[in-house]
Amino acid sequence: MKILYVIEHISAVGGLERILIEKMNAFASEPAYEVMLMTVWREQNGPAFPLDARVGQVCLGLEKPTSSIGLVAAIPRVLSIYNKKVRAIAPDVVIHFRAMGAMLTAFSSWHGYTVFEAHTARPFSNHRWLYTFMERRADVVVCLTEKDACNYTRAKRVEVIPNFVELSDLQKSQSGNDNRKEKKAVFVGRLCQEKDPLRLLRLWKAIVAKHPDWQLEIFGKGELEDIVRAEIVSLAIADSVVLHGYASNMAEIYGSADMLLLCSQTEGMPMVLIEAMCYALPVVSTDCRYGPSDIIDNGETGFLVSQNDDEAFVDAVSALMSDKGLRERMGEKAKMESVRFSKGVIVERWRKLFLEG
């Protein structure tokens, strides 16, 4: 079976790029599949993550416009070149992503089996008007969460397939190397408005007032980094908060923490929650749209807190901090539950979807 993945570019260090490459690598390792990656825009850099040499690559070779007007003007040329390339490749299934993928799904002359992967919840996607046309043309729309799937009422078929984590690699890294230190909470993610790290810092000030012997370590970078750094000083919590930036040693980070905190305004499918669960970490997260409630079993593997309930968030974190036994019980349950997001389980669901095309 020949599978063609189509994305605007592949050089960005992002969650979609990472999981896309991991999926392509998984299928490319199986003799039954021929996997190809098509990118739209010309790039100086290659894939941001290691790509299996067996994955074929083709680029439409177009320069990315620098303005919205230029982008609209480029659409006819993108469609023309795309149609020629995809006909020449003749894939058994094509998978599209993001607004560009919605446009290609909706308006290309290719009528083979087409899947659209929605990695951002529809209300928060760019150029949402395209999605109305896309869902009428796509053979399948695949969402990450049950709640987002409800947004595609005109689609021929909607499936929910979450992203996966490499459980074996994570657990192998953890095996025999449990460096967990008590009294350390972590935040892992981009420092941006959607993740709301400034609110987390304000909440942490109230939390650490009750539990002054705890530390919060923040891993990530983003457009709010300087503001976050200044806010730590302004709130006078520098003694209990460490801002690390990006980190590649996630096994060590999760393995040495006691809980993970997330107070996002919006999410798609927060992989950090699943990764933390693999390491037997309980989590406290806002019940934002659309991902946390699909991952966390409230009161069992962690706590889901209403979006704007600061007091409940502080109380949930405090409950975990005050009870090591609760942390351990929730953490072990979280580790068991994380198996449903394992690579083998999720790849098998994709395999079934492809065979039904």
Strand segments (E) across the chain: 2-7, 34-41, 56-62, 93-97, 114-118, 140-143, 158-160, 184-188, 215-219, 241-245, 259-262, 283-286, 302-305
Give the pLDDT confidence score for residue 145 in this predicted structure.
Answer: 93
Tell me: the pLDDT tens digits for 195-244? 999 999 999 999 999 999 999 999 999 999 999 999 999 999 999 999 99
pLDDT of residue 263: 95
> Do 127 and 264 share a domain, yes or no?
no
Give residue 350's pLDDT.
97
The CATH number assigned to the domain holding 58 equals: 3.40.50.2000
Please state the separation of Cα 190 from the chain's center in Å: 11
Separation between Cα atoms, residue 124 and residue 5, nearest integer Å: 23
Whether residues 349 and 330 share a domain: the answer is: no
pLDDT tens digits, residue range 13-48? 778 898 999 999 999 999 999 999 999 999 888 898
Same domain, 123 and 149: yes
Segment 68-81 mean pLDDT: 94
Same domain, 314 and 189: yes
Give the per-residue pLDDT at 172.
Answer: 43
DSSP strand pairing (215-219 vs 241-245): parallel
Regarding predicted confidence, which is higher, 248 or 191? 191
**Distances in whole angstroms, Cα of residue 187 to Cα of each of 147, 161, 215, 285, 322:** 25, 25, 11, 11, 19
Query: Cα angle vertex 47, ends 45, 51, to 5°?
Result: 145
Same domain, 176 and 149: no
269 shares its domain with 346: no
Put simply, whether the predicted model's pTM sits higher than 0.75 gets the answer: yes
| pLDDT for residue 97 | 97
The C-alpha R_g of the chain, in whole angstroms, comes to: 21
Does residue 176 have a pLDDT over 60? no
Residue 122 shares a structural domain with residue 192: no
Number of domains in the chain: 2
pLDDT at 180: 57
Residues 151 and 44 in one domain: yes
CA angle 186, 330, 307 (to 5 degrees): 60
* 177 and 77 within one domain: no
Q: Is there a contact between 287 and 293 (Cβ–Cβ < 8 Å)? A: yes
String of DSSP letters for 56-118 = EEEEEEEPPPSSHHHHHHHHHHHHHHHHHHHHHH--SEEEEEHHHHHHHHHH-S--S-EEEEE
Residue 208: which domain range?
Answer: 167-339
In 3-state terms, what secondary structure has residue 183? coil
- Specify whether the CB–CB gap between 82 and 108 falls below 8 A: yes
Question: Checking phi first, is residue 330 left (phi over 0); if not, alpha (psi -120 to 50) or beta?
Answer: alpha
Confidence at residue 268, expressed as pLDDT on a 0 to 100 scale: 81
Instruction: Give residue 319's pLDDT band: very low, low, confident or very high (50, 70, 90).
Output: very high
Pair (251, 120) in one structural domain: no
- Tens-digit pLDDT profile for residues 102-122: 999 999 999 999 999 999 889
What integer best gives the mean pLDDT of the chain? 93
Q: Of 152-161, 168-177, 275-284, give the lowest mean pLDDT range.
A: 168-177
Residues 285 and 188 in one domain: yes
pLDDT tens-digit profile of 232-282?
A: 999 999 999 999 998 888 888 999 999 999 999 988 888 899 999 999 999
Query: What is the reported pLDDT for 179?
Result: 53
Same domain (yes/no): 160, 184: no
CB atoms within 10 A of CB 320: 22
